[in-house]
A and B are shown apart, each in its own frame.
Chain A
Amino acid sequence: MSDNLARVSFAVEREKFETPERRPFRIVSSNPRRRARPRIFYALTAVAGMAAIIVAQLLLSVGISQGAYEISSLQSSQSELGRTAAGVSEDLVRVSSPQSLAANAEGLGMVTNSNPVYLRLSDGAVLGAPASASGSQAGAASLVPNALLTGSALLSQLPDDAAATTGAVAITSAPVVPAGLAAPTTR
């Protein structure tokens, strides 16, 4: 305490000696006003800044979540398209099965001939014994079941309008000759 008092008196004495004439200046009434103005200004700046940051952040997060919705919808359409692709290629593999091909070939009037004959070009010799195709026993109704083909129609059994709408069918259904096979035109 004594220490404190000594210092105070010392300070008072210093004031007395060094700044006797400045006193009127120090108690200027305009002083509080000057100080108050910058405080409001700074506070407003800070608040405005914060508001700007908050708005920016909000906008950013809206943007990001908008992207998330877009990603989500694109992903779901991707998976839907993937499902379609898988289903279509499954159909393709199914109709390329031997049972389907054989049944369609027969539906178009084709018969198998398991009697191979070769023509040797070097001397024109015929190798093997030519015999007409009789439709071997493999040409009977399919004895090798395929549950996946249940309910699928043969190309030759499709109605005409269905054949016209699908290009591939239109091509293959053209050579159907009800009364046996036509003789090929050779020149």
Chain B
Amino acid sequence: MSVRNSSARTNPTNTRSSRRRTFFTIVVLFAVIGVFVVRLVDIQVVQADSLTKDSVGNRSVGQVIYGSRGEIVDGNGVVLAGTVMRYNITMSPVNATPFKRTVDGKKVEVSVAEAAAEIGAATGQTGDAILLTISTALEANAKANFAYIAQKVDVDVLRAVQELHIPWTYSENSPSRVYPNGAVAGNLLGFLSGEGVPQAGLESGQDACLASTNGSETYEKGADGVRIPGSSVTSTEAVDGGDVVTTIDSDLQWFVQQTLAARAQETGAAWANAVVQDAKTGKLLAVADYPSVDPNNVGGTENPDDRGSRAFTQSFEPGSTFKALTAASVLDAGVAALDTGVVSPYRYLPSNGANINDSHSHPDQNMTLTGVLIDSSNTGMSKFGEMLTNQQRYDYMKAFGVGTATETGFPREDGGILHPADEWDNQTSYATMFGQGLTTSALQIASIYQTIANDGVRMPVQLVEGCRQADGTLTNVPDAAGTRVLSESAANDTSDVLEMVYQKSWVNSKWNIPGYRVAAKTGTAQMPDGHGGYSNGYLVSVSGFAPADDPQYVVSVSIADPVKLNTSAAPAPVFQEIMSQVLKKYRAVPSGASAPDLPSTW
């Protein structure tokens, strides 16, 4: 200390310069710090957002986590529609140049044409087609950096292409819908567009249950594509869709479709459908349509009308199968009994001015309700039907579900046409007794027979059991409460009459099922020509249920315009085969007691 003091004292000029230097250093230091602070504020506050964005864009990779669209399963859990991952092979046309590949330790130059041929061999295209894709993309845009080589290929093709190690090819995920059973229930399932938008059927109607939500994930990766450890990851979870559980039995559905299609082709039909319904629960076990779409190959079905389910979406005048409803109404109202007789002429001219005739000429016949249904006499049915007022019959029809879309909620379902009773003209008043002047869908006819089979209690028509969530719970379960339409005795009497029809009908040999008691009715209805009149075509149908002593299954078959056989003989064998299969498949016990024997004349 003393030394320093003495030197400071002895050398004042030195002290002064030292101070100046200190001062200068401090000023410079503060200036530098100031510059740093300004820059810091600039980076951290002023430009923070844009810089962060740039850095994320440079280093991080965003990727979509695909949520899986729910499955559609049948009543036994068999998958009818599922989601699988498919892959799009893409390329960069502008970078499509020759490249070097190491083969057996030697570098070999691969030309674009050779590469294209290799890709083509893997994807099932020709090399020229791929070269054309490249040149087309480059013509449209000389710097085109993206083009599809193949879309929605499976993992085998993807791997084959990846093994070629062509630097300008890439792949992307593309979740797709697959229908493992093909056209089985394809009419009901519907399909998705290429972009995954539901187009028809359950895919569309149950989309709220099936739809999934995609998630996303962002992470940072190094130049070699490996995720940087500890890099920030922001992710949104993907939400899978729920599964739609249907009441359909896929094996039975296949059998019904196959049987129906065989007969429809044999008879040259325009279209046909068949419905199998559980009589006690109202659940649909099979709804077959011909023609029907294979949702895996929608383009293979040219007519757009063939891609849906006519059983739901096309109503028609049912014809004589509807007489069962009129008979049941008459019996339930108590205005006639099984032994009530009428005189049924060939032509009947009621006092209101209508004009009714039977399909074939015959002398006046003394008939009971049973006889009228066996012969399917329009005049006889009119004489029974007029025992009720129009309004009463209308009310019965509404109670049976005619004129209202069923409870299935199927998209674009046709509820049929049923005008209010006070709008019926003279002819319609009578025509509605035997299934003309109104339209029903195939399902509504099945539902009428279900009501009769189930002791007069109509169950809601059910196609979907509910939406099964990830935790196994079923939501959106439809209401399964039945409504009584007929008294039990009226329903059983109608069933007995239909059983007589089954035994005595002229198609008996065609629909006979040995060992079982069956109740059924045929129908033959003229088809509209689309201009307010009738065409030459007929819609022929058979509806019925079995075993008649304890009805369990309803089968209804309709065939439109079978040009080679336009009578009920066309659908009767289909009814026989389907009903036999249903009874066998579900182990229905053969009927023990013998069928009732009701008089058809008096």
Q: Which residues of A contact B (CB under 8 A)?
A: 8, 11-12, 15, 64-65, 67-69, 71-72, 83-84, 86-87, 90, 93-94, 96-99, 102, 114-118, 127-129, 131, 136-138, 140, 142-149
Contacts and interface: CB of A to CB of B under 8 A. Distances in A.
A98 B251 contact: yes
Contacts of B223: none
A72 B181 CA distance: 37
Nearest to A66: B229
A137 B572 CA distance: 13
Contacts of B82: 93
Given A12-B2, A90-B154, A144-B261, 9 more contacts: A11-B2, A15-B2, A94-B180, A116-B590, A128-B515, A137-B262, A143-B265, A148-B178, A149-B182
Given A140-B262, A144-B182, A146-B183, A128 B514 contact: yes
Interface string B561-572: 000000000000
B551 to A, nearest CB: 17
B226 A136 contact: no
A149 B181 CA distance: 9
A146 B296 contact: yes
Contacts of B251: 98
A8 B226 CA distance: 71
Contact of B182 (A8, A137, A146): A146
Contact of B154 (A65, A87, A146): A87
B584 A114 contact: yes
Contacts of A71: 227
Q: Which of A71, A97, A117, A131 has the most CB of B within 10 A?
A: A97
A84 B228 contact: no
19 contacts: A64-B230, A65-B229, A86-B84, A90-B178, A99-B181, A99-B182, A115-B584, A116-B580, A129-B515, A137-B259, A138-B255, A140-B258, A140-B262, A143-B261, A143-B262, A144-B182, A148-B178, A148-B179, A149-B182
Given A114-B577, A148-B178, A131 B514 contact: yes
B257 interface: yes
A143 B577 CA distance: 16
Which A-B residue pairs are the 9 nearest by beta carbons? A146-B182, A128-B515, A129-B514, A98-B254, A143-B261, A116-B584, A127-B590, A147-B297, A147-B296
Contacts of B584: 114-116
Nearest to B259: A138
Contacts of B263: 137
B254 A99 contact: yes
Contacts of B255: 98, 138
A65 B255 CA distance: 59
Contacts of A148: 178-180, 182, 296
A11 B84 CA distance: 95
Given A68-B227, A90-B84, A99-B254, A145 B300 contact: yes
B294 interface: yes
B155 A84 contact: yes
A141 to B, nearest CB: 9
B238 interface: no
B254 A144 contact: yes
Interface of B: 1-2, 5, 79, 82, 84-85, 154-156, 178-184, 225-230, 250-251, 254-255, 257-259, 261-263, 265-266, 292, 294, 296-297, 300, 514-516, 573, 577, 580-581, 583-584, 589-590, 592
Given A114-B581, A137-B577, A138-B258, A145 B156 contact: no
Contacts of B180: 90, 93-94, 96-97, 148
A146 B183 CA distance: 6
A149 B294 CA distance: 12
Contact of A87 (B2, B155, B573, B592): B155
Q: In the complex, which of the residues B180, B226, B266 has the most CB atoms of chain A within 10 Å of its own CB atom?
A: B180
Contacts of A68: 226-229
Given A69-B226, A145-B297, A116 B583 contact: yes
B229 A147 contact: no
Contacts of B577: 114, 136-138
Max chain A CB contacts within 10 Å: which of B5, B181, B227, B516? B181
Interface centre among A71, A97, A144 (most CB of B within 10 A): A144
A83 B85 contact: yes
Contact of B516 (A15, A128, A143): A128
A118 B589 contact: yes
Contacts of B259: 136-138
Contacts of A94: 180
Given A86-B155, A128-B514, A138-B262, A98 B226 contact: no
B12 to A, nearest CB: 13
B394 to A, nearest CB: 40
Contacts of A115: 514, 580, 584
A11 B2 CA distance: 9
A64 B182 contact: no
A174 B200 CA distance: 44
Nearest to A143: B261
A44 B359 CA distance: 119
B123 to A, nearest CB: 16
Nearest to B228: A68
Nearest to A71: B227
B341 to A, nearest CB: 35
B379 to A, nearest CB: 37
B66 to A, nearest CB: 13
Nearest to B580: A114
B156 A98 contact: no
A46 B75 CA distance: 76
Contacts of A102: 254, 258
A83 B182 contact: no
Contacts of B514: 115, 128-129, 131
Nearest to A83: B155
A145 B307 CA distance: 13
Contact of A144 (B183, B228, B229): B183
Contacts of B155: 83-84, 86-87
Contacts of B84: 86, 90
Nearest to A67: B229
A97 B227 contact: no
Contacts of B258: 102, 138, 140, 142-144
A64 to B, nearest CB: 5
B35 to A, nearest CB: 29
Nearest to A90: B84
A97 B254 CA distance: 9
Contacts of B254: 98-99, 102, 144
A93 B33 CA distance: 71
